[in-house]
Structure 1
């Protein structure tokens, strides 16, 4: 493979970035690339990867699809789960179902606004962001709300199987399921079809509006599930806990090679993108870079990737 091909191959770039960041981290802080530390970083990447799964679906669906409401929905999922659980192991399943059901419904509302009312996705999801954030402030009065059950915290943070926390197993299942759905089912092929050419998809009889509504619904569902994982990771929730996942989920998708024009890409690249982004954040933290500096670098990373891949490039993963 030529150097030019490598520079435009998302999987090669993401894998190379992961290897380079591990080497830099190890040089800056010996032990950075050791097993326990890698598991901890991968646990953090799993939460981002779950959020990015929904973002990936929305972007694949085309029509400038993007979901800026994933951050508040992560926060909402965490608050709902924490209050339903209230620290009780027996309430974990109802908490997961409640968080995912509410955020899935909100995602469907986003989808209906985009498809039926024809509100641009950027405007629709930005408006939903304000609504959710305002509701969380009113509900919690700015005070951390809800507590994780001990069993959930153990599932997310402690080794469960083969020395890996349960959240990594959940992430693996999500990755396999999404890969299968996108490549081997009529729904998945329909997602690529409407993302590549919506008009042609309509002419062959695909239910474009229904598919796009479901994509936004699944984006909400994955954000809610990530919120459950967040409260399991931290033990408690607050109303801005999901803010960090809005830009990072988009960057993870782009790192993985999914075209922002839609219709091209896949979740495997997004998994690598989430890992690379978390490693980058950890290296920057090791360098003691301030938060604003990290945000500037994340934004620059997104712009550089867009220049490398080309906004309209059809990159197949």
Structure 2
């Protein structure tokens, strides 16, 4: 290759890196922090940034499972995550006083895995559309919680869980943020270094070709929904540590943002392309955006409009700059 060809290739590679979804999302995040700090000094101070990371972690845990589901293709999407978040928080809240925190957390994770397994079987074995299957399961889970609790969950707060989520552990960083970072590393290794992770990409890119290549596509689909259910349960557990109490609609506000975080982080809704690093960046951007809009003092309806416009703008920039 000539020197001119090498230069053009290097320039193209640089443009691809600059125009990557993660770079775009992080640039928007930094811009909002800078503007916020200018308008209201202290908006981007270290303690505030730690608080934003803690809140973003809740969405990040839930978005991890959503990332796997969407990456796996087949129009994959999990609308039951919000209900699983609520369910897991209620389980830990209710069982903590009698069984202890470890057993309560184990029960919540198992319950999340069971819901995910049912979703996976419905999609992979029964051939149901993921949107309808997971939406139906969201209703089943929410209805079951209402019946079992009478709409008024009872239980007790666990101080150890609260301390893990809210208090600094290392260098002023809360345990939940450190756990989120460990999850990011684990997800990266899982998707890039294991045969199962590579099969998720393969099935998402072309499920028929993956099946012809001998991959167990049905088992893989069930597995990603099980993971989604368990990770949503983790999100509910840490969210309980933050709030200290539960209510019936605790997890609902996280359902659509978990999808948005995945998509603006660069994972294609059609599957096969994306990463959890992008989802983490997306979760952080959405959290900073919410804080920024609140800082502006906008009423709720205006915040919702501005939220939607910002997401559309980021996705528009990404679609124009990212390589096809």
Instruction: Tell me the TM-score normalised to structure 2 length.
Output: 0.91
How far apart, CA to CA, are the structure 1 residues paired with 2:134 and 2:147? 20
Deviation at 1:148, TM superposition (A): 2.4
Q: In structure 2, what is the equivalent of residue 82 of structure 1?
A: 93
Q: In structure 2, what is the equivalent of residue 118 of structure 1?
A: 127
Bigger mean CA offset, 21-30 vs 110-119: 21-30
Are 1:180 and 2:189 matched, yes or no?
Answer: yes
> For residues 252-308 of structure 1, what are the alpha-carbon distances to aligned partners after superposition, in whole Å with 9 as ceiling and x for unaligned?
111210111100000011111111110000011112223333333333444444444
How far apart, CA to CA, are the structure 2 residues paired with 1:236 and 1:142? 13
Give the gaps of 5 or more residues in structure 2: 1-10
Q: In structure 1, what is the equivalent of residue 103 of structure 2?
A: 94
Counting matched residue pairs gives 312
Q: In structure 2, what is the equivalent of residue 169 of structure 1?
A: 178
Q: Which has the larger radius of gyration?
A: 2
How far apart, CA to CA, are the structure 2 residues paired with 1:196 and 1:314? 16
Are 1:15 and 2:26 matched, yes or no?
Answer: yes
Deviation at 1:310, TM superposition (A): 4.4
Deviation at 1:81, TM superposition (A): 0.8
How far apart, CA to CA, are the structure 2 residues paired with 1:54 and 1:254? 13
Among 12, 35, 38, the residue aligned to 1:24: 35
How far apart, CA to CA, are the structure 1 residues paired with 2:319 and 2:132? 24
Would the aligned equivalents of 1:61 and 1:215 in 2 still touch at CA under 8 Å?
Answer: yes
Among 21, 44, 49, the residue aligned to 1:33: 44
Are 1:105 and 2:99 matched, yes or no?
Answer: no
Are 1:292 and 2:305 matched, yes or no?
Answer: no
Among 137, 157, 171, the residue aligned to 1:148: 157
Would the aligned equivalents of 2:16 and 2:323 in 1 still touch at CA under 8 Å?
Answer: no
How far apart, CA to CA, are the structure 2 residues paired with 1:306 and 1:119? 29
How far apart, CA to CA, are the structure 2 residues paired with 1:179 and 1:40? 24
In structure 2, relative to structure 1, the CA distance for the partners of 1:113 and 1:185 (3 Å cut) is same
How far apart, CA to CA, are the structure 1 residues paired with 2:318 and 2:54? 28
Deviation at 1:11, TM superposition (A): 1.3
How far apart, CA to CA, are the structure 1 residues paired with 2:206 and 2:81? 26
Would the aligned equivalents of 2:264 and 2:315 in 1 still touch at CA under 8 Å?
Answer: no
> For residues 123-181 of structure 1, what are the alpha-carbon distances to aligned partners after superposition, in whole Å with 9 as ceiling and x for unaligned?
01111111111112222222243332101100100001121111011101110000001
- Helix, strand or coil for the counterpart of 2:251? coil
Q: In structure 1, what is the equivalent of residue 5 of structure 2?
A: none
How far apart, CA to CA, are the structure 1 residues paired with 2:303 and 2:78? 22
Among 43, 47, 64, the residue aligned to 2:58: 47
Would the aligned equivalents of 1:254 and 1:302 in 2 still touch at CA under 8 Å?
Answer: no
Deviation at 1:9, TM superposition (A): 1.8
- Helix, strand or coil for the counterpart of 1:176? helix
> For residues 24-56 of structure 1, what are the alpha-carbon distances to aligned partners after superposition, in whole Å with 9 as ceiling and x for unaligned?
221232111111111111000011100000001
In structure 2, relative to structure 1, the CA distance for the partners of 1:65 and 1:300 (3 Å cut) is farther
Instruction: Tell me the TM-score normalised to structure 1 length.
Output: 0.93
Q: C-alpha root-mean-square deviation of aligned residues, in Å?
A: 2.1
How far apart, CA to CA, are the structure 2 residues paired with 1:252 and 1:304? 14
Give the gaps of 5 or more residues in structure 1: none
Among 189, 192, 205, the residue aligned to 2:201: 192
